[in-house]
Amino acid sequence: MPSCHHFLPRSLRRAALLGLIVLTAGQAPLAVAWEPSELTPSRDSTPILTLHDGAERHSLSRADIETLPLHEGTLSHFEGIEGRFAGVWLDDLLEAQGLDHAPQLRFIAHDDYTVFLSRQDRQEKRFLLATRLDGEPLTLTEFGPTMLVVPEDAAAVEAGTASMTHWIWSIRDIIAP
Ligand SMILES: Nc1nc2c(c(=O)[nH]1)N[C@H]1C(S)=C(S)[C@@H](COP(=O)(O)O)O[C@H]1N2
Ligand SMILES: [Mo]
């Protein structure tokens, strides 16, 4: 009786199986590893972000932002920084500011890059407003003081299969028309 009816030689099948295991082992933790953070919320009351709600303006400090629950996970960011990123869910911040139903938000960065985020974008993916890298406040030179990341897209962005146009860093203003 023929011992083998597979198309691939045993060595190739073994290599393919190993590759699958490595891929699975490498990606699964990324999907589940974002978790509540044990970091102590910042007490820095220096304004770092301006929220425009119609004609009203609200200055937000690190302390203001970090009154919300902090979450963290490991990320390799395409701008060349990697480690434990921590921050608050954008939707938590918007809800706290009474802006969770805003149909469209505009973000403007310190380098004047701007991007729009619709309510549908926020319903499809969870956006994290990151404030920390490896426990330390993100600074302007590290693409802070805050940046948007989409934890569930991290692997795809790294692989070049998902867009990162929403991953705005060095955020200066958030505008709800
Ligand atoms: N502050 C800021 N964030 C930004 C950008 C930018 O120019 N400034 N470019 C966006 C776009 S369009 C992409 S594809 C990624 C990577 O931008 P880069 O290729 O200019 O590094 O970051 C996004 N976030
Ligand atoms: Mo881009």
In a domain, 112, yes or no: yes
- Nearest residue (by CA) to ligand 1, atom 11, is 165
Q: What is the mean pLDDT of residues 3-14?
A: 56
- One DSSP character per residue, 53-90 reads ETTEEEEEEHHHHTTSPPEEEEEE-TTS-EEEEEEEEH
| Domain span including residue 165 | 28-176
- Least confident segment among 24-38, 44-58, 80-94: 24-38
Ligand nearest to the CA of 148: 1
In a domain, 23, yes or no: no
Residues 6+ apart with CB under 8 A from 159: none
pTM above 0.95, yes or no: no
In a domain, 5, yes or no: no
CATH number at residue 96: 3.90.420.10
State the Cα torsion 70-76-82-86 to the nearest 10°.
0
pLDDT in tens, 146-172: 999 999 999 999 999 999 999 999 999
In a domain, 132, yes or no: yes
In a domain, 54, yes or no: yes
Residue 175 Cα to ligand 2 midpoint, Å, equals: 21
- Nearest residue (by CA) to ligand 1, atom 18, is 79
* Ligand 1 pocket check for 109: Cβ under 6 Å: yes
In a domain, 101, yes or no: yes
Q: What angle do CA 5, 10, 11 make, to 5 degrees?
A: 155
Q: Which two tokens stand for residue 34?
A: 């974002």
Q: What is the mean pLDDT of residues 51-61?
A: 97
**Domains held by the chain: number:** 1
Q: pLDDT-derived band of residue 24, with 50, 70 and 90 as boundaries?
A: low
Pairing of strands 47-53, 171-176: parallel
Ligand nearest to the CA of 169: 1
